[in-house]
Amino acid sequence: MDRDSKRESRNLVSKDMLNRQRHWVVLAIIFIIILYVVGTYCPLGAKDEDPWELPKLVLAMLAGVVAYFEYLRASRDSRVAKLLELHERFIETKQFSMIRNLIEAQDEAFLSRVRFVANNPTTPYSDETIVDEQNNIRMNVEQMGAFDEYLDFMQLVAYLSLELNFNRKDMHGIFGYWLRQLGNTKAVYDYIFVESFEFGALKKAISSK
């Protein structure tokens, strides 16, 4: 998959996540309905004709609150399942493990390739492209493809954490070290900040480390 296709795919995922309901909106709607119902059926100073009217309303309100907290519980369970799925993918994907090791080891050949693309974002390259003449380092297209996939994944992690508050504390507990590694490695940092690569959430995440 080329870089533009991957950016388009990530944008579609982001748009889909933006369509999810925010729980505070649900809570606000519930209380607005409660206030409206109470004001309509139990106005101040009104004389109740049906002695059961107020208990019925109270039960309806309680049912609404219980339904809301059940919604929160189900949402949290869904987020925990998603977090575990992300963690499993992060650990078990061989390409991710390779890129993590290269970044942590500050592998100069790898960083030379990253630096070359960051400085020449629109220049086509192949395995024969020389990225460092002095050390005779050539491009590794497969390695750079794995690097792009790794950054796409970290972009998703950053988006869930920063934009949707998706278990933010747990997210940073699991992925915080690796986000800091991206920000602390200049070649990688410069690559992420290439405007046309569109790593918006990832920029925020490594800038606020």
Dump pLDDT digits (tens) for 67-92.
777 777 777 667 777 777 888 899 99
Mean local confidence (pLDDT), 162-169: 65
CA nearest neighbour of 17 among 161, 173, 154: 161
13 has a pLDDT exceeding 80? no
Q: pTM higher than 0.85, yes or no?
A: no
Paired tokens of 206:
């490594």
**Percent of all residues in the chain with a pLDDT value above 70, rounded to a whole number:** 67
Q: What is the mean pLDDT of residues 83-105?
A: 91
User: Is a pLDDT exceeding 60 seen at residue 101?
Assistant: yes
Q: What is the pLDDT of residue 49?
A: 56
Weakest-pLDDT range from 4-13, 19-28, 44-53, 114-123: 4-13
Q: What is the pLDDT of residue 14?
A: 45
For the ranges 6-10, 65-69, 72-76, 184-188, the lowest mean pLDDT is seen at 6-10
> H-helix or E-strand containing 137?
strand 137-138
Whether the CA torsion 83, 171, 148, 15 is positive or negative: it is positive
Mark 26-59 as b/e (b = at least 16 C-beta within 10 Å).
Answer: ebeeeeeebeeeeeeeeeeeeeeeeeeeeeebee
pLDDT reported for residue 149: 95
